[in-house]
């Protein structure tokens, strides 16, 4: 009888919250931001989105990241990318912080939106709060979302480590290149490097492979100019 009671008690426990995974649709929400109210991701349909969280306003690592993101705005725009930031903080704090960033030596005028998530509801929805580090501050999460609203990549950084903006750009270019040309992207790839063609899926196809590389590593040359002529112009999933 005790065992049955234990089972019933276990069954009544609420299920743990789900968070977005690669290949799933980005959860929808409405929020206030430093650029006005938004509906996410609907307001950015047809664009790639870099949705990222940071632990707190008026902190040195976060400030360095926002300056670095802003300095790459032209490059992100050419790739059809919208930056959207989030922290568990009030809009008034965000606005004061942006004003301080603009006025500091070497600062920048931040033009992309930063979400007011004072309750932490959106951060929890996206798995940005890791309770082993903090119950109230988000880690440095990055969600790359495609023009169809699908999560394509996820990164997590601890509070003490600033993000590599160049790597985030490389990921965007790599994902767009893979979509546009039907190829895979090898380690340390940069535009202009060889890409990988899909591996054969039948015995006969394997036997027909020739060349110096093994059958499962079939490289293909892809000119850098060809890449940039095609990517960044993809809207609503069209290539």
Residues 181 and 159 in one domain: no
Write the CATH number for 195: 3.30.1020.10
Render each residue's pLDDT in the chain as its tens digit; 239 residues. Answer: 555 555 555 555 555 557 899 999 999 999 999 999 999 999 999 999 999 998 889 999 999 999 999 999 999 999 999 999 998 889 999 999 999 999 999 999 999 999 999 888 998 899 887 766 655 566 789 999 999 999 999 999 888 899 999 999 999 999 999 999 999 999 999 999 999 988 777 787 677 776 677 878 888 999 999 999 988 655 444 44
Helix (H, G, I), strand (E, B) or coil at 85: strand
8 is a catalytic site residue: no
Residues 159 and 212 in one domain: no
Angle between helices 165-181 and 60-71 (to 10 degrees): 40
Residues 157 and 62 in one domain: yes
Residue 147 lies in a domain: yes
Residue 110 lies in a domain: yes
Determine how many CB atoms are found less than 10 A away from the CB of residue 167: 11
Q: What is the pTM of this model?
A: 0.86
Going by the DSSP 8-state scheme, the letter that residue 150 receives in this structure is: B
Residue 172 lies in a domain: no
Residues 147 and 83 in one domain: yes
Write the CATH number for 58: 3.40.30.10
Residues 135 and 224 in one domain: no
Q: Which of 49, 50, 61, 62 is catalytic?
A: 62
């Amino acid at each position: 009888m005790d065992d049955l009671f234990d089972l019933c008690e276990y069954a009544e426990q609420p299920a743990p919250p789900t968070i977005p995974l690669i290949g799933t649709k980005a959860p929808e929400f409405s929020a206030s931001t430093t650029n006005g109210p938004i509906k996410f991701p609907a307001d950015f349909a047809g664009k790639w989105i870099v949705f990222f969280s940071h632990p707190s306003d008026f902190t040195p690592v976060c400030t360095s990241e926002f300056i670095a993101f802003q300095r790459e705005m032209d490059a992100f725009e050419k790739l059809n990318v919208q930056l959207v930031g989030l922290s568990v903080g009030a809009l008034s704090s965000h606005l004061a912080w942006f004003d301080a960033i603009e006025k500091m030596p070497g600062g920048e005028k931040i033009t992309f939106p930063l979400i007011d998530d004072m309750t932490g509801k959106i951060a929890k929805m996206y798995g940005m709060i890791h309770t082993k580090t903090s119950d109230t501050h988000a880690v440095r999460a990055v969600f790359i979302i495609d023009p169809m609203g699908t999560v394509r990549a996820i990164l997590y950084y601890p509070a003490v480590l600033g993000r590599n903006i160049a790597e985030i750009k490389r990921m965007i270019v790599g994902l767009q290149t893979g979509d546009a040309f039907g190829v895979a992207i090898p380690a340390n790839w940069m535009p202009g490097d060889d890409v990988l063609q899909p591996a054969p899926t039948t015995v006969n196809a394997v036997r027909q492979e020739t060349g110096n590389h093994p059958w499962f590593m079939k490289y293909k040359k892809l000119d850098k100019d060809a890449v940039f002529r095609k990517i960044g112009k993809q809207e609503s999933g069209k290539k």
